[in-house]
């Protein structure tokens, strides 16, 4: 065989083994808020584009109203993936690069969802959730997932009905939440309660209702989702703490309800509230709210990227440089701008800057009253919680206590610095937004389109928007 023919055969074999232009899939979700909106009111369109392999998609997303172009937005990764990573009391869960869920750590109540009660020291697949998962949340001892197309499934401890299936039976694999088979856009979980946000801006909660944390005006335990009179419209984001809950209004204000002994409602007093009350000084201008299943405090990011927190401060987790609870929001020292995400934990809080760096404060081996850089995480991070970070290409690192294997490195050795999670690649998400006031009264068939990039195939998503007079 001639040298030319040998080269040709070799080149053909290489092409067949690894196509030079093969691209991974992408998937998209389109959100619109507020919905419904009023004529002339600005509507924010948010396209979330997931790369199912090889990192997050890049480029632009175009938005349209039927055949009418509305404009485009550039995809950004930093801060876009907070629903990709979740932490319970002693377990972690995250979305995989294929859109499934893996969990690791303590499993006494079945909160890892693998059908057992065996602790796992490395990521383990949740039964029946290998793909199609949009978001994940972790309560102290249970976990929940938002499933395409917008249904909710939960697993783990159910002593207070926090799984929402109408029972109080613990579940070691995911079960569907009653009445939430569609229309949900966000989920959050606390100690013994769970909440969901619908596409119409309604908040529904279930589980333990002591101190009024479900917001329905009572302290009655609910085994399936309920919605209080003050939570039926007008909200765009939700978060749950240990014994309280908060929601972000479409006007950029924050309202909270539930336990208030540690000022976690931010309204300046210590009285539990069974229905939402406004957080003092935060009636507008807020872009993000965050709490966690282990926290008795809450944090918010303003539209300019400033961080503010309120509530319990026994370890300096509010970051204002002082101890003592705070009944109203205080500024986090040194974070007056440039914050892309914030993640409260039980005693520690972390922030992700717009440059992809991580800073934390509060309880560590030595309490830190102000934000300090985390070693090895000075750039390249796209999502965080208070003890883990995900890189722009899906690598996961965790640190801190590891009694139950919640670091995910295959050991039970505590880690003082970020340590790679074994054998795991997370889904990486990018987000593009567009604000429009061009929608007339009526029903609109909105569409977002991602044309693809060098690593990902195109994707698109619809959303019905209602505009009232």
pLDDT of residue 169: 98
Bridge partners (DSSP) listed for residue 24: 456
Cα separation, 311 vs 288, in Å, equals: 17
CB 292 within 8 A of CB 299: no
**Res. 5: pLDDT tops 60:** no
* Phi/psi at 56 (5° precision): -85, 150
Closest CA to 299 of 361, 363, 343, 357: 343
The answer to whether 448 touches 45, Cβ cutoff 8 Å, is yes
C-alpha to C-alpha distance for 467 and 444, rounded to whole angstroms: 8
Domains belonging to the chain, first-starting first, are: 82-425 (2.130.10.30)
Instruction: Report whether pLDDT(14) > 80.
Output: no
Mean pLDDT in residue range 273-297 = 96
Q: How far apart are CA 140 and CA 65, in angstroms?
A: 42
Within 8 A by CB and 6+ apart from 308, the residues are 282, 299, 300, 301, 302, 329, 330, 331, 332
pLDDT class of 78 with cuts at 50, 70, 90: very high
Separation CA 406–CA 294 (nearest Å)? 15
What average pLDDT does range 246-267 have in this prediction? 97
Q: What is the pLDDT of residue 21?
A: 60
Token pair in block for residue 6: 């040998």
What does the pLDDT read at residue 365? 74
202-218 CB burial, b ≥16 within 10 A, e <16 = bbbbbbbbbbbbbbbbe
pTM as predicted: 0.94
Classify residue 196 by burial, with Cβ atoms within 10 Å: 0-12, 13-18, 19+. Answer: buried
What sign has the CA pseudo-torsion 338, 203, 193, 329? positive
pLDDT score of 15 more than 70: no
Listed in sequence order, the DSSP H helices in 96-243 are none
What is the rounded CA–CA span in Å between residue 142 and residue 207?
11
Q: How many CB atoms lie within 10 A of CB 308?
A: 27
Distances (CA, A) of 73 to 52, 266, 288: 21, 34, 19
Mean pLDDT of 250-272: 97
Is 60 exceeded by the pLDDT of residue 4? Answer: no
CA distance 387 to 138: 14
Mean pLDDT of the chain: 94
- Is residue 407 within 8 Å of 397, Cβ to Cβ? no
Is 10 in a helix, a strand, or coil? helix
What is the reported pLDDT for 9?
A: 36
Predicted confidence band at 53 (pLDDT cuts at 50, 70, 90)?
Answer: confident
Q: Would you call 142 helix, strand, or coil by DSSP?
A: strand
Confidence of residue 13 (pLDDT cuts 50, 70, 90): very low
Structure token digits, residue 20: 């030079």
Each residue's pLDDT tens digit, 304-329: 999 999 999 999 999 999 888 999 99
**Residue 396's pLDDT is what?**
97
Q: Write the pLDDT tens digit of every residue in 356-414.
A: 999 999 987 778 899 999 999 999 999 999 999 999 999 999 999 999 999 999 999 99
Please report the pLDDT score of residue 43 as a whole number.
96
What helix, strand, coil percent values describe the chain, rounded to 5? 5, 50, 45
């Amino acid at each position: 065989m001639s040298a030319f023919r040998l080269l040709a055969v070799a080149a053909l074999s290489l092409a067949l083994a690894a196509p030079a232009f093969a691209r991974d899939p992408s998937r998209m979700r389109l959100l619109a808020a507020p919905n419904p909106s009023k004529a002339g009111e600005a509507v924010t369109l948010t396209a979330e584009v997931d790369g199912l392999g090889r990192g997050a998609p890049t480029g632009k997303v175009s938005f349209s109203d039927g055949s009418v172009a509305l404009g485009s937005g550039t995809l950004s990764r930093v801060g876009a993936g907070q629903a990709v990573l979740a932490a319970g009391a002693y377990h972690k869960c995250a979305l995989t690069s294929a859109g499934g869920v893996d969990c690791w750590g303590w499993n006494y109540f079945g909160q890892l969802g693998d059908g057992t009660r065996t602790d796992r020291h490395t990521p383990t697949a949740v039964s029946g959730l290998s793909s199609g998962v949009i978001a994940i949340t972790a309560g102290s001892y249970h976990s929940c997932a938002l499933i395409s197309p917008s249904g909710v499934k939960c697993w783990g401890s159910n002593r207070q009905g926090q799984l929402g299936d109408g029972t109080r039976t613990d579940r070691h694999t995911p079960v569907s939440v009653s009445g939430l088979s569609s229309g949900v856009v966000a989920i959050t979980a606390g100690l013994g309660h769970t909440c969901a946000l619908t596409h119409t801006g309604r908040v529904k909660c279930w589980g333990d209702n002591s101190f009024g944390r479900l917001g329905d005006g009572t302290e009655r335990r609910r085994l399936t989702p309920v919605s209080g009179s003050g939570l039926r419209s007008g909200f765009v984001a939700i978060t749950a703490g240990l014994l309280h809950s908060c929601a972000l209004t479409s006007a950029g204000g924050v309202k909270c309800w539930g336990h208030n002994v540690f000022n976690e409602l931010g309204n300046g007093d210590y009285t539990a509230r069974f229905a939402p009350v406004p957080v003092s000084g935060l009636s507008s201008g807020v872009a993000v709210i965050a709490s966690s299943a282990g926290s008795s405090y809450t944090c918010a990011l303003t539209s300019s990227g400033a961080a503010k927190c309120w509530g319990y401060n026994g370890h300096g987790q509010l970051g204002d440089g002082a101890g003592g609870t705070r009944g109203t929001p205080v500024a986090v020292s040194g974070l007056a701008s440039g914050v892309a995400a914030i993640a409260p934990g039980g005693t520690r809080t972390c922030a992700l800057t717009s440059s992809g760096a991580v800073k934390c404060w509060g309880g560590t081996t030595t309490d830190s009253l102000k934000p300090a850089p985390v070693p090895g995480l000075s750039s390249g991070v796209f999502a965080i919680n208070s003890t883990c970070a995900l890189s722009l290409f899906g690598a996961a690192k965790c640190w801190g206590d590891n009694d139950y294997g919640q670091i995910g490195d295959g050991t039970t050795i505590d880690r003082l610095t970020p340590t790679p999670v074994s054998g795991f690649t997370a889904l990486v998400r990018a987000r593009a937004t567009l604000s429009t006031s061009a929608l007339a009264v009526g029903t609109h068939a909105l569409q977002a389109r991602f044309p693809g990039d060098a690593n990902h195939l195109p994707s698109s998503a619809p959303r019905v928007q209602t505009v009232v007079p």
